[in-house]
Amino acid sequence: MDLPFLLEIFGLFLTVSVLLYLFFGDNALFRLVTYLFIGVVAGYVTILVLFNVLVPRLGALIFSGDPFLTAVGGVLALMGVLLLLKLFPRFSRFGALPMAILVGVGAAVAIGGAVFGTIFGQVSSTLSLFDVRQGGSLLSGVYILVGTVSTLAYFQFSTRSKVVAPVVDEETTAPRATALEVLAKIGQIFIGITLGAMFAGVYTAAITALVERFGFIFVTVYQFFE
């Protein structure tokens, strides 16, 4: 047997071990495959970070010969060492500074990407649909606008209360305005359609993967007995 066929046999063993979870629940073979998968992923990510990020980029800064870049590389290396101290409870407080920097920078990047890359981009694309002279589709623009406004209205729960005196030991719920309630009902339809489409996409992808795995099992077993 050549090496590719042995790898296919090993893949067949892993696939059957995972599928056994459907019939026998949690078992030793399934846990073995799970631990193997986690170990391989952790090893791959470690090697990727070490040789594609730390060594070429941090090493290039430290050994660049430029005092400023060397100082920047030294500060980054120090931050990395302090972050590793989070693994030890006794010295975990020293990792608070790099952790705060990571969280702050991550939040800023996420918010900036959401505002400038998603919200502004979606608004600009939607507005362009109303420009019929530039090839826009007015019907599509109205549909997207109604869907967006009605969906936001569905999550609007605050309203003005007309109760003057507070009611003791009694919970009161002020109804929303009629127009807002109608928009919320329309938004509920849009949300249902979106969740249904997402569920259908996930379900289709899962079925496709399952069919592919059964096909792999059939072809590998056929080749083994051929």
Indicate the number of domains in the chain: 1
Tell me whether residue 27 is in a domain: no
Is 201 inside a domain boundary? yes
Mean pLDDT value across residues 188-212? 93
* Terminal alpha carbon distance of the chain: 13
The pLDDT value recorded for residue 188 is: 93
Average pLDDT over residues 72-78: 90
| Contact present, 79 and 94 (Cβ < 8 Å) | no
Q: Is residue 205 included in any domain, yes or no?
A: yes
pLDDT of amino acid 126: 78
| Model pTM score | 0.59
pLDDT above 50 for 168: no
Range of the domain at 148: 130-159+174-226
**Is 96 within a domain?**
no
**224 is a domain residue:** yes
In a domain, 182, yes or no: yes
Express as a percent the part of the chain with pLDDT over 90: 27
**Of 12, 16, 39, which is closest to residue 27 (Cα–Cα)?**
16
- What confidence tens digit (pLDDT) does each residue in 37-69 have? 999 999 999 999 888 888 888 888 888 888 898
Examine residue 40 and state whether it is found in any structural domain, yes or no.
no
Residue 86 inside a domain? The answer is: no
